[in-house]
C-alpha cells in the first residue's frame, strides 16, 4: 500500500483518488438515474428491476461495497485537499475577481457536504425505510417489494419532493465541474478533444438533473398514478 500512501500524501495523488472515486460515484449516479426512470414504464417494470437486483446478492453487495469505499475515499480526500487548499492562502484577497473559475468549481466542497447529507437522508428514505416505514412495507400483486408505490407515495408529499429537488442543484453543480475534471486529472487534455471534454460536464450533469427532477415533479403533477387503475 505504499503507492496509496504516496498518493494520499501528495496533492496530485489526492486528485487521482478524488477523480477515481468520483468517476465511480458519478457512474453510479447516471446508472441509478436510468434505473429510476423505469418508473415511467409502470409498476411492473420497476418492481421487476428491483427484484432482479435482489436476486443477485453477490453483485449487489459487491457494488455496495465498492460504492461505499468510493464514497469514503471521495470524502476523505476531499477533506484532506480542502484542508491543504485553505491552508495555502491564510490571508484572503480584499478583492478577488476570478476570470474563468466557475461557481461550480468554487463550491465543490460545500456542495459535497450538502450532497453527503442528502445521501444519508435518501438512504434512510428508500434503502432503509426509516423515514416512511409504512411506504417501505408495501408489496405488489406478485409479492415483490413495491418500489413503485414507495416512490410515488413518498413524492406525493410536497416537502419530500422539495428536498429532493433542492438536492439536485448541488448535484448539478458538482457533476458539472467534476465530470470534466476527471479528464484533466487523468491527464487527458488535447486541443482536438477539449471542446467535447469541457462540454461533457455540463451535458452529463444536466441530463442527471433533468432526469432525476422529472420524477418528483411528475408525481406531484399526477402523471405517475397510484394506485394504478385499469390494470
- Interface with other proteins by CB under 8 A: which residues? 3, 6-7, 9-16, 81, 84-102, 105-106, 108, 177, 180-181, 183-191
- Residue 144's contacts (CB-CB under 8 Å, 6 or more residues apart) are 47, 48, 50, 51
Q: Dihedral angle at the C-alpha atoms of 112, 191, 208, 26, nearest 10 degrees? A: -50
Q: State the nearest-atom distance from the C-beta of 87 to other proteins, in Å.
A: 6
Pick between residue 161 and residue 180 the one whose CB is nearest to other proteins: 180
Q: State the nearest-atom distance from the C-beta of 22 to other proteins, in Å.
A: 12
Pick between residue 93 and residue 231 the one whose CB is nearest to other proteins: 93
Pick between residue 107 and residue 157 the one whose CB is nearest to other proteins: 107
DSSP assigned state of 93? P
Rounded distance, CA 42 to CA 181, Å? 37
Pick between residue 195 and residue 231 the one whose CB is nearest to other proteins: 195
Q: State the nearest-atom distance from the C-beta of 83 to other proteins, in Å.
A: 10
SS3 state at 145: strand
Sign of CA dihedral 144, 151, 60, 210: positive
Q: Which helix (H) or strand (E) holds 158?
A: helix 158-185
Beta bridge partners of 145: 139
Rounded distance, CA 64 to CA 12, Å? 27
Q: State the nearest-atom distance from the C-beta of 99 to other proteins, in Å.
A: 4
Pick between residue 9 and residue 137 the one whose CB is nearest to other proteins: 9
CB atoms within 10 A of CB 99: 4
CB 128, CB 86: distance < 8 Å: no
Q: State the nearest-atom distance from the C-beta of 114 to other proteins, in Å.
A: 18
Rounded distance, CA 147 to CA 23, Å? 27
Q: State the nearest-atom distance from the C-beta of 202 to other proteins, in Å.
A: 14
Pick between residue 81 and residue 114 the one whose CB is nearest to other proteins: 81
Amino acid at each position: 500500500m505504499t503507492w496509496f500512501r504516496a498518493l494520499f500524501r501528495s496533492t496530485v495523488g489526492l486528485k487521482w483518488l478524488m477523480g477515481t472515486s468520483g468517476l465511480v460515484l458519478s457512474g453510479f449516479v447516471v446508472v441509478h438515474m436510468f434505473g429510476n426512470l423505469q418508473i415511467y414504464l409502470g409498476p411492473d417494470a420497476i418492481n421487476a428491476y428491483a427484484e432482479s437486483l435482489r436476486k443477485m446478492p453477490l453483485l449487489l453487495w459487491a457494488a455496495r461495497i465498492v460504492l461505499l469505499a468510493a464514497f469514503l475515499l471521495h470524502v476523505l480526500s476531499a477533506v484532506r485537499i480542502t484542508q491543504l487548499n485553505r491552508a495555502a492562502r491564510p490571508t484572503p484577497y480584499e478583492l478577488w475577481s476570478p476570470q474563468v473559475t466557475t461557481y461550480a468549481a468554487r463550491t465543490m466542497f460545500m456542495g459535497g457536504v450538502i450532497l453527503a447529507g442528502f445521501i444519508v437522508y435518501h438512504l434512510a428514505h428508500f434503502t432503509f425505510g426509516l423515514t416512511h416505514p409504512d411506504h417501505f412495507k408495501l408489496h405488489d400483486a406478485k409479492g415483490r417489494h413495491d418500489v413503485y408505490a414507495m416512490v410515488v407515495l413518498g413524492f406525493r408529499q410536497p416537502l419530500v419532493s422539495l428536498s429532493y429537488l433542492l438536492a439536485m442543484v448541488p448535484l448539478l453543480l458538482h457533476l458539472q465541474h467534476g465530470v470534466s475534471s476527471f479528464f484533466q486529472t487523468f491527464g487527458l487534455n488535447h486541443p482536438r478533444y477539449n471542446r467535447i471534454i469541457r462540454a461533457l460536464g455540463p451535458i452529463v450533469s444536466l441530463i442527471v438533473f433533468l432526469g432525476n427532477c422529472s420524477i418528483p415533479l411528475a408525481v406531484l403533477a399526477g402523471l405517475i398514478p397510484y394506485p394504478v387503475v385499469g390494470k
